[in-house]
Chain A
Amino acid sequence: QVQLQESGPGLVKPSGTLSLTCAVSGASISSTNWWSWVRQAPGKGLEWIGDSYHDGNTKYNPSLKSRVTISVDKSKTQFSVTLNSVSAADTAVYYCARTARGNWYFDLWGRGTLVIVSS
Chain B
Amino acid sequence: DIQMTQSPSTLSASVGDRVTMTCRASQSIVTWLAWYQHKPGKAPKLLIYKASTLESGVPSRFSGSGSGTEFTLTISSLQPDDFATYYCQQYNSYSWTFGQGTKVEIK
Q: Are B101 and A62 in contact (CB under 8 A)?
A: no
| Neighbouring B residues of A45 by C-beta, 8 Å | 87, 98-101
Contact of B61 with A by CB under 8 A: no
A105 to B31, CA, bound (A): 12
A20 to B35, CA, bound (A): 26
Q: Which secondary structure characterizes the binding site on chain A?
A: strand
| Neighbouring A residues of B42 by C-beta, 8 Å | 111
Shortest distance from the beta carbon of A22 to any chain B beta carbon, whole Å:
12
Q: Are A62 and B44 in contact (CB under 8 A)?
A: no
| Neighbouring B residues of A106 by C-beta, 8 Å | 34, 36, 44, 46, 89
| Neighbouring A residues of B32 by C-beta, 8 Å | 104
Q: Are A103 and B43 in contact (CB under 8 A)?
A: no
Contact of A73 with B by CB under 8 A: no
Contact of A59 with B by CB under 8 A: yes
A65 — nearest CB in chain B belongs to which residue?
A: B95
Q: Are A112 and B95 in contact (CB under 8 A)?
A: no
A37 to B11, CA, bound (A): 28
Shortest distance from the beta carbon of A82 to any chain B beta carbon, whole Å:
19
- Restricting to B24-40, which residues have a CB under 8 Å from any CB of A? 32, 34, 36
Chain B residues near A (Cβ < 8 Å): 1, 32, 34, 36, 41-46, 49, 55, 87, 89, 91, 94-101
Chain A residues near B (Cβ < 8 Å): 4, 38, 44-48, 59-62, 95, 97, 100, 103-112
